[in-house]
A and B are shown apart, each in its own frame.
Chain A
Amino acid sequence: MAHEAGRRVNPRWYTRARWVVQILALAAYLAAFILARRGTGLPAAANVFLRLDPLAALAQALSGREFVAGMLLSLLVIGLTLGLGRAWCGWLCPLGTILDVFRPSRRRVRALAAAEPWRRVKILLVVLILASALLGGLSLMVLDPLTLLTRSLASSIWPALDRIVLALETGLYRVPLLAPLVGRADSFLRPAVFPTEPLPGRVALGFGVLLASIIGLNWLAERFWCRYMCPLGGLLALLSRVAFVKRTVAPGCNACGACTHVCPTATIRADRQFASDPAECTMCLECLPACPRQGAMFSAGTAIAPRMAYDPKRREVLAALGGGLAGAALLRSQTATPSASAHWVQPPGARENNLIGKCLRCGECTRTCPTGAIHPAISEAGLEGLWTPVLVPRLGYCDYSCTACGEICPVGAIPALALEQKRLTVIGVAYIDKDRCIAWADLRDCIVCEEMCPVAEKAILLERVEVTRHDGSTVSVQQPRVVRERCIGCGICEYKCPLSGEAAIRVWAPNIALPL
Chain B
Amino acid sequence: MAIQRCSQARSIQSLWLTGDWFGRLSARKGRQRSVHMMRRVFIAAILFVAVWAPSLLVAAEAGRADLMGKLCGDAASLGDVGRALVGIAADGSQDERAWATPVARAVIDRKLTCDTKGAVVISGEGSFDALTREQRVAVEGGRSPFLNLKNRALFETAVAALALRTAPDPTQRGAALRTLERQAAGLPEHLFEAAAEQESDAGLRAQMTAVAQAAALNSADPAKRIGALKRISATPDRRALTQVRALVADPAYAGDPEFKRAVDAAIATIERGITAGDVLAALYNGLSFASILFMAAIGLAVIFGLMGVINLAQGEMIMIGAYVTWMVQEGLRRLAPALLDWYLIIAIPAAFLVTAAVGIALEAILLRHLYRRPLMSLLATWAVSLFLINLVRVTFGTQNLNFVTPFYVAGGVPVIGDFIFTWNRMFAIAFAVLTLGITWGLMRLTPLGLNIRAVTQNRTMAGCIGIPVRRVDTMAFGLGSGLAGLAGLALAPIYSVNPQMGQNFIIDSFMVVVLGGVGTIVGTVVAALGIGQINVLIEPMWGAVAAKVIVLMMIIAFLQWRPEGLFAIKGRRK
Query: Is B a genuine binding partner of A?
Result: no
